[in-house]
Structure 1
Amino acid sequence: MAVDSVSLIQARFNFWAAHRMGVALFSHMYREYQALSTLTSLPNLLTLLRIMLIPVFVIVFYLPFAFAHMLAASIFAAASFTDWLDGYLARKLKMMSPFGAFLDPVADKLLVSTSLLLLVGAKEINYITIPAIVIVGREIVISALREWMAEIGRRASVTVGYVGKIKTFLQMIALFLLLAFNPTDTWGGIFGFVLLYVAAILTIWSMIIYLAIAWPELTKKN
């Protein structure tokens, strides 16, 4: 009887251990599935597509064809459209995720910075360096500010505002026009040139707004 009792206890223990291992394995697999589902959600795939379009955009920009810049501008427009689309789908389908919240602004900054670098390097375009420095410089300042505010638990205080959204909209139109047309001899290019300076002014304005919001935290003694 004692042997049977020991065997029964051992069998129950083995069953319990196997059950615990099965639950742990299932939980791990479910977490991995959730992580994979987050990475491969439609909004995040669109954001990843925007990043993958950037090297294609650069290559097309430097192709030795008359229509290369117009084609590059079209790729830029398509990539910019995915910026709106992924945000819309994330809200509509309730697929917002920390990964998407991180990756989306990174993709935007990569696309805009790459476009500005290409335009600054184009010899036929003058006086574009100033707004390019303003726009890129502002992104560096605000990114650092948001990171610091997140560390102190005030990240929500420096979310994108109305002025920032207008700035982004005008900036994208300006970059498309400057990529597609020459600002020295076409109305589309001239209009894009003017819009880029307007976007640069709004860039400074929005940066001042963000800094004003964060100023009480920045000037605390402790």
Structure 2
Amino acid sequence: MSSLPNLLTLSRILAVPLLVLLMWGRSPWEWLAAFILYAVAGLTDYLDGYLARAQGTVSKLGQFLDPIADKIMVAAVIIMLIHSGTIHGLATIAALIILLREIIVSGLREFLASLRVSMPVSQLAKWKTAAQMLALGALVLDGATTRLWPALPALEIGLTCLWIAAALTLITGYDYLRTGLKHMDS
């Protein structure tokens, strides 16, 4: 538990309540702080895996916690963006697609793990994650920019990337489900 990669992963989980609290605020400065925290958490997501592989300290605990930390943060941010009204209307469908895929793929991975079948992350899924992280980051930043820097098109960038992430989510989710169904008995 005390390895640096595991501590970075744990820090992401522990940052979620603060992130939610900041996004609950109405001040653009709170939203700017939320964006900075979100960006730092995204950086730790990259660093924990990189360090674990580079140091040869990949652990079962880290493999277990990392996807959970990612899903907790993504779900919390989406919920708060919907709560704030930043994500609304049809964009809510894109957000729900992302949330539902995360739940389905998590269940599928758990099922396949019981069969000792691994489901590696595809390159397209990595692009999905990048689009999703960019979308959510831009939408969080919009909470600050609408009042501090209104010319910055954070909302437009965020919503565009959200729909791109949702489309990639459908494709990668289908690929994972198709792979998983091959291992299920009728």
CA offset digits 1:149-199 (Å, max 9, x no partner): 111121x2x221111110001100110000011599752210110000100
The equivalent of 1:74 in structure 2 is 36
**Mapped partners of 1:62, 1:140: distance in 2:** 24
The equivalent of 1:7 in structure 2 is none
Point out the structure with max Rg over C-alpha: 1
Counterpart amino acid of residue 60 in structure 1? L
The equivalent of 1:162 in structure 2 is 123
CA offset digits 1:185-217 (Å, max 9, x no partner): 752210110000100000010011111212222
Identity level (%): 37
**Mapped partners of 1:108, 1:74: distance in 2:** 16
CA offset digits 1:4-24 (Å, max 9, x no partner): xxxxxxxxxxxxxxxxxxxxx
3-state DSSP of counterpart to 1:126? coil
How do 1:178-217 and structure 2 match up within 5 A?
Answer: 178-181=139-142, 186-217=152-183
The equivalent of 2:73 in structure 1 is 111
CA drift at 1:126: 2.1
The equivalent of 1:48 in structure 2 is 10
CA offset digits 1:26-85 (Å, max 9, x no partner): xxxxxxxxxxxxx10000011111111111111112234232212111111101110000
How do 1:119-130 and structure 2 match up within 5 A?
Answer: 119-127=81-89, 128-130=91-93
3-state DSSP of counterpart to 2:28? coil
The equivalent of 1:173 in structure 2 is 134
Q: Which runs of 5+ in 1 are unaligned?
A: 1-38
**Mapped partners of 2:70, 2:41: distance in 1:** 9
3-state DSSP of counterpart to 1:217? coil
3-state DSSP of counterpart to 1:179? helix
Of the candidates 51, 56, 63, which is equivalent to residue 89 of structure 1? Answer: 51
The two structures, once aligned, show a CA RMSD in angstroms of 1.7
Is structure 2 residue 111 aligned with structure 1 residue 145?
Answer: no
**Mapped partners of 1:124, 1:54: distance in 2:** 19
Q: Which runs of 5+ in 2 are unaligned?
A: none
TM, length-normalised to structure 2: 0.91
**Mapped partners of 1:135, 1:64: distance in 2:** 26
After superposing on structure 2, the runs of 4+ consecutive aligned residues of structure 1 that deviate more than 3 Å are 182-186
Counterpart amino acid of residue 202 in structure 1? L
